[in-house]
A = this chain, B = another copy of it.
Amino acid sequence: MAVRALWWDRGKLALLDQRQLPRRTVVLRLARASDVAEAIRTMAVRGAPAIGVAAAYGMALAARGGLSPARAAKLLGSTRPTAVDLFVGIDAVRSAWERGSDPLEAAHAYRARVVEECHRIGSAGAPLLAHAHGVLTHCNAGALATVEWGTALAPIRVARERGADLFVFVDETRPLLQGARLTAWELARERIPHAVIADNAAGHYLARGDVDAVLVGADRIARNGDFANKIGTYEKAVVARENGVPFYVAAPWTTFDARRADGKAIPVEERDPDEVLELAGRPLAPPASHARNPAFDVTPSRYVSAFVTPDGVVRPRELAARLARRARR
């Protein structure tokens, strides 16, 4: 894979500073858990699977730095509330650490699991796109969001390898433009045909019949299939269903929150209003105007055609049973 969001490099967590893409390729090398927490909070690294892996390595760095497991988990867990992967990654290393196993080995294992699951998502989801041409995606659910491969982008990559003639409509994804900056960057590197569109234009293309499938990632998926993802996902899901276009949510098992019955109480992070009011320090709105900036929304299960998991396509009504079976293993 050409793109990697983060990797372990001689005692440090190396990660691409995603705030600076696509203008500059800057690698941060973090030696302390508090630096990892700051990188997650400020979105130098983002995407639910990727922040889970970053937090796992943050736990390993915390162990080296002499923190207690509880303190390390609190430090890293207080960075962002919505993506459940963050807590899954923390807990995976914490339980190994508390058992006396090597936290770094546990972080490596967690990373390997996420990468492997994303790879399988690609194979599982590619058949859904075999006869598709136009595909819409929101935010970045690519390699940058997941270490390697991606979630929503993985089936696109595999379907292309298998000969599908795809064109990707990339929602720019305001306010932080992860679509225009990151998804477009990944697609451009791999020469996958695409066009960036204003988030407002997605409905236009859905209504015109130019989109055969919508594929997105997720930050947290409840047992009944309600899921949180980047703000705007809900609108795309509603408009997709209104137009009879299938809407797929691709995620590794780390993103499924089997302890949560539905989406009602998923915490939605509210971020700094300046992310809306400014772009690169330049004010967009008048000084007297305020903004609201919810970073996520929750899409009810009824809008989801299917979840693309590492173990195949799962319909929303089958999800709870599938999660229960996994828990019994």
**A-side interface residues toward B, CB under 8 Å?**
22-23, 169-170, 172-175, 177, 180-181, 184-185, 187-188, 194-205, 207, 230-232, 234-235, 238-239, 242, 268, 273, 276-277, 279-280, 282-286, 288-294, 297-298
Contacts and interface: CB of A to CB of B under 8 A. Distances in A.
Contacts of A195: 273, 289-292
Contacts of A203: 232, 234-235, 238, 297
A125 to B, nearest CB: 23
Given A242-B238, A285-B22, A199 B197 contact: no
B22 A201 contact: no
A225 to B, nearest CB: 16
Interface of A is mostly: mixed
Given A22-B285, A184-B285, A280-B282, A200 B199 contact: yes
A80 to B, nearest CB: 17
A36 B305 CA distance: 50
Contact of A290 (B181, B196, B231, B234): B196
Of A184, A230, A234, A235, chain B has the most CB atoms within 10 Å of the CB of A235
A172 B172 contact: no
Contact of A276 (B185, B187, B197, B290): B197
30 contacts: A22-B285, A22-B286, A23-B283, A172-B174, A174-B174, A174-B198, A175-B198, A180-B276, A180-B284, A180-B289, A181-B285, A184-B285, A184-B289, A185-B285, A185-B289, A196-B276, A196-B291, A198-B199, A200-B231, A200-B232, A200-B235, A201-B293, A203-B234, A204-B268, A205-B292, A207-B234, A207-B297, A279-B279, A280-B282, A282-B282
A169 B194 CA distance: 32
Given A184-B286, A196-B277, A204-B231, 14 more contacts: A174-B174, A181-B284, A187-B289, A188-B288, A195-B273, A195-B292, A196-B285, A203-B238, A203-B297, A204-B234, A207-B297, A207-B298, A234-B239, A282-B282
A147 to B, nearest CB: 21
